Structure formats: structure tokens, C-alpha cells
Structure 1
Amino acid sequence: MFRRTAARYSRSAAAAVIAVAALVAAANAGPARAATPPVHEVSHARLAPTP
């Protein structure tokens, strides 16, 4: 009886650790960056040059 309970808890603890590791990895990945700036930023830069 104790072995079955211990195995169940150890499996659930391992699943929780894997889930937390996956969430931390996903949070650290961050969003992908665009290769070029969006169109509205490009047109604004042409209209207002910096001195």
C-alpha cells in the first residue's frame, strides 16, 4: 500500500517539476524580434529627421 502511494506522489512531484521547468524556459525565451521596424516607425523617421 505504501509503495503505491509513494509512487503516485513521486510521479506527481516529477510532473510538477517538469511543468515548472517548462514554464520558466518559456518565460525566459521571450517574444521574437522583428527583422525590420514596423512601417509606421519608418515613415515617422523620414518625416521628422533628428538634428
Structure 2
Amino acid sequence: MPGRTRIAERYARALAAAVVAVACLLLAANAGPTDTAHRPAPVPAGDTTSVTDASVTDSLVTVSR
């Protein structure tokens, strides 16, 4: 039968296991996909159309009729 360990040794082992577990979780969280080829290209500022309140309310009036 193994000899009894001191309480400090048990706490040190538990603390070491907790540190290893946190390190593993951090590494797993940061291991996401790094492929940027499938991201859509940003829309240039010149191709956007501005939305005004009048155009929004006109379309709502047309839809409600």
C-alpha cells in the first residue's frame, strides 16, 4: 500500500493539473480555422447606395396597399 502523501503535495498536484487543463483549453480555443480564402471581399465605398427615410417610407406605403 502506498504511503500517505502530505496535504501540500496533493494541493500542488491539483494546482498543476488545473494549470495544465487551463492551458489545454486556451490552446484548443485558439486553434480555429486560419483559412481566409473563403471570406467575401469587402464592398467598395463607391458601390453603396444611401438609404433615406423617404425611400423607406415609400416602400412601406407601397407594400401596405
TM over 0.5: yes
> Per residue, is there more helix in 1 or in 2?
1
Match of 1:10 in 2: 13
1:1-51 matches, cutoff 5 A: 3-30=6-33, 37=40, 40=43
Aligned-pair identity in percent equals 23
Aligned length, in residue pairs: 40
Q: Which structure 1 residue ranges, 5 or more long, are not aligned?
A: 45-51
Runs of 4+ in 1 over 6 A off after TM superposition: none
3-state SS of paired residue (1:29): coil
Deviations 1:15-51 (A, max 9, x none): 00000000000110258x8x8726616xx6xxxxxxx
CA-atom RMSD in angstroms: 3.1
